Amino acid sequence: MAAAGRRVAPHINVAAPSSTWIGGDNYGIGKSAADFIANELKCQGNVVEIQGVAGISVTELRTKGFTDGIKKCNGGIKIVASQPADFLPDKGLQVMEAILQGQKKIDAVYTHDDDMAMGVVQAIKAANRDDEMFVTGTGGSKDAMNQIAQGGLYRATFLYNPSMSGSAVSIAKLIAEKKGLSELLEPEVPSRIELPATTVTKENVAAVQNLGY
């Protein structure tokens, strides 16, 4: 997800004669991030959340999925700072710089967008605190995947698969032809298709790097 004029996550409505919505699971992204961070920290630690644009559904869902997900740690993981950075790398840098000054102990940073996370990473490295914490992003950018493959500060991203645009074109063709999905018995395409977010780490990044935007 990005601000106007930059990359836009492809939520696509396909109509004629009926319609199908295809998109990513933003709540699931937050939940996957919570599961990953909780496992890495063994449910103990301080986490910073760098959000997208305040007040929009994508941000709210990614936040809710994360906060719901860490409840399993029974308070062992604390969100010590949560601020929007508008999906912008420069804003991510500025926001993270301020948080680093105010928080003396940070174990992980959950970032709502890979592009924004590049600024977060820059701030952490400039403060010489990259050995203290790790960063997760969202989206599946090539830069993020390259950093994950190298190992170190950038530990994971949650793939908001850009291939859904191509899937939308195929679904539109089926709708126009009044056909359903060949694997289903029903004669129509489902009205909603929500794609799960793959957790991308050093262990599996090579298999999905070709999907990076």
Alpha helices, DSSP H, located in the chain: 26-41, 57-69, 89-102, 114-126, 142-150, 164-176, 205-208
Q: Is residue 13 pLDDT above 60, yes or no?
A: no
**Residue extents of the structural domains in the chain:** 25-161+196-211
pLDDT at 196 over 50: yes
Closest by alpha carbon to 86, among 4, 204, 178? Answer: 4
What percent of the chain has pLDDT above 90?
Answer: 64
Q: Please give the model's pTM, rounded to 2 decimal places.
A: 0.78
Residue 52 phi, psi (nearest 5): -85, -135
- Between 171 and 87, the higher pLDDT residue: 87
Q: Which two tokens stand for residue 118?
A: 């590049």
Residues 6+ positions from 65 with CB-CB distance below 8 Å: 26, 27, 28, 29, 30, 31, 32, 33, 34
Single-letter code of the amino acid located at 194: E
Tokens of 204: 């599996």
pLDDT tens profile 15-54: 444 566 556 689 999 999 999 999 999 999 999 999 999 9
pLDDT tens by residue, 135-189: 999 998 999 999 999 999 999 999 875 555 556 566 566 556 666 666 655 666 6
CA distances to 99, 138, 205, 211 from 198, rounded to whole Å, are 29, 10, 10, 12
Q: What CATH number belongs to 25-161+196-211? A: 3.40.50.2300
Enter the tokens of residue 145. Answer: 């995947």
Burial class (CB in 10 A: 0-12, 13-18, 19+), 197: buried
